[in-house]
Amino acid sequence: MFFHSFIYTLKTLIRDKGQAFWCVLFPIVLATMFNFAFGNLDSNEAFSAIDVAVVIEEGKETEALQSALDSVSAEGENQLLNISYVGREAAEKMLAENKVVGILTAGDQLTLKVSAAMKNSKLEQSILKVFTEQYNLYAESMMDVMKTNPAGVMDLINQMNAEANYVKHKNFTEGNISAALTYFYNLIAMACLYGSFLGNSLAHYGAANLSAIGARRLVSPVNKFVYDIGSVCAAIVMEVVSITLSIFYIRYILGIDFGNQFGYVLLTVFVGCVLGVTLGYFIGNIGTASSQVKFGILISSTMICSVLSGLMFNGMRITVDQFCPVINKINPAALISDSFYSLVIYPDHSRYFYNVIICAIEAMVFIIGSFLLTRRKKYASL
């Protein structure tokens, strides 16, 4: 039954012109528009050291931090930060006046504050973020090393700075990432979530109260779950193929680089599509509202997710991070675009896999939820 459902679902989806529009054409059209809009956004942007205010809280041991900061702010080709050591108030003022990208506060931990209002500094903000995270990660071992082997501390600092420098290097020396690129990541994330329209339509054709076909299918001796898994898989294949097409278009026609880890890019697309399709399938199975209503819900909620993850304004993600960080941790659009992002930004894949795994968990929840909702269902009204 799995294959019967898979083959025929694929056939119907491929031949459905409305679906083809949302799946293939829409991302391509939007990407082309983005390309016109942002085409020249980053081309003459060159990297200059990031202006940052450092506030050192009273009575804190800052020797290790000092060496770290010294090494990244040393003048020269590799200068990453341009530091002003100031008091709290002065720092806040500088941030408010956009004189600095962020404030680093040395307390028990190194903390970062950035301004959401600052546009076009998302990348700088990210670099600061990476620096802060890395410092906090290494701080403890640095203390230990300092006590036993002060000379070794420089190695650690170099190691630590490698990450932040890597971000900078990738972005500016190789021109690999740009503000515009994150828009394209978000665009692909949105396209993945548009897979939810397919999922919704699967639910539509599987419910007796929504479609006559659903009624006819439910009177047949078919295990609904096995059947639906087959059609969900077909929808995922359809989505993956169309999004991969969009990516090829963005990569080769628009000439926008997606990095060279194509395998991981594909994995992200796959997971994103699984998440999109299962999301739509789940929503489609909830309640008795018509599938048009659910389509409306999906189109607006995927839009909201995409906006929150930065489809419209680049700084959105960071704003969300400040006010309600949990949103970025579960927002499917944010997870998918962040996966692309972290592939380019981070040398290792831990953050990437974190995103991918959360996506997979959410998809599982949607599938199991749908299963429970439709299991042995009799309708109260048809």
Partner 1 sequence: MGTPVVKIENLVKRYKELVALDHFNLTIEEGEVFGLLGPNGSGKTTTINCLLSLLAFDKGTVEVFGKEIRPDSYDIKKRIGVVMQNVAVYDELTVYENIDYFCGLYVKDKATRKKYVQDAIDFVELNDFVKFYPKKLSGGLLRRLNIACGIAHKPDLIILDEPTVAVDPQSRNKILEGIQELNRQGATIIYTSHYMEEVEQICTRIAIMDKGKNLAIGTKDELKQMIKKSETISIEILDLADEDLKAIGKLNHVYEATYENHTLKVLCSGGKHNLPHVLEYLQSKNIPFDRVYSELPTLNDVFLEITGKELRD
Ligand X SMILES: Nc1ncnc2c1ncn2[C@@H]1O[C@H](COP(=O)(O)OP(=O)(O)OP(=O)(O)O)[C@@H](O)[C@H]1O
Part of the chain binding partner 1 (CB under 8 A), chosen from 138-146, 210-218, 228-236, 266-274: 210-218
Number of residues that bind ligand X (CB under 6 A): 2
For 319, the token pair is: 């704003």
The correct pick among 46, 219, 326, 372 for binding partner 1 (CB under 8 A) is: 219
CB neighbourhood size of 202 (10 A): 28
- Is residue 209 within 8 A of residue 150, CB to CB? The reply is no
**Cβ closest to ligand X, residue 44 vs residue 381:** 381
Which of partner 1, ligand X, none is residue 159 near (CB under 5 to 8 Å by kind)? none
Paired tokens of 354: 């974190």
State which of residues 7, 286, 360, 382 lies at the interface with ligand X (CB under 6 A): 382
Pick the closer one to ligand X by CB: 148 or 381: 381
Rounded to whole angstroms, the Cα distance separating 141 from 150 reads: 12
Q: Output the 3-class SS for 139-185.
A: HHHHHHHHHHCHHHHHHHHHHHHHHHHHHHHHHHHCCCCCHHHHHHH
Partner touching 237 among ligand X, partner 1, none, CB below 5 to 8 Å by kind: none
Spell out, one character per residue from 352 to 381, where the chain touches ligand X: x when CB under 6 A holds, - when not: -----------------------------x
In the complex with partner 1, the residue whose CB is nearer, 122 or 224, is 224
Q: Is 140 exposed, middle or buried (0-12, 13-18, 19+ CB in 10 A)?
A: exposed
Q: Is 222 in the site for partner 1 (CB under 8 A)?
A: yes
Q: How far is CA 103 from the centre of its chain?
A: 25
Query: Which H/E stretch holds residue 210?
Result: none
Comparison of 11 and 99: residue with beta carbon closer to partner 1 = 11
What whole-number distance in Å separates Cα of residue 69 and Cα of residue 93? 22
Alpha-carbon distance of 190 to 307, in angstroms, equals 9
Q: How far is the CB of 230 from partner 1 (least distance, A)?
A: 12
Contact positions vs partner 1 (CB under 8 A): 1, 4, 8, 11-13, 15-16, 208, 211-213, 215-223, 376-382
Contact positions vs ligand X (CB under 6 A): 381-382
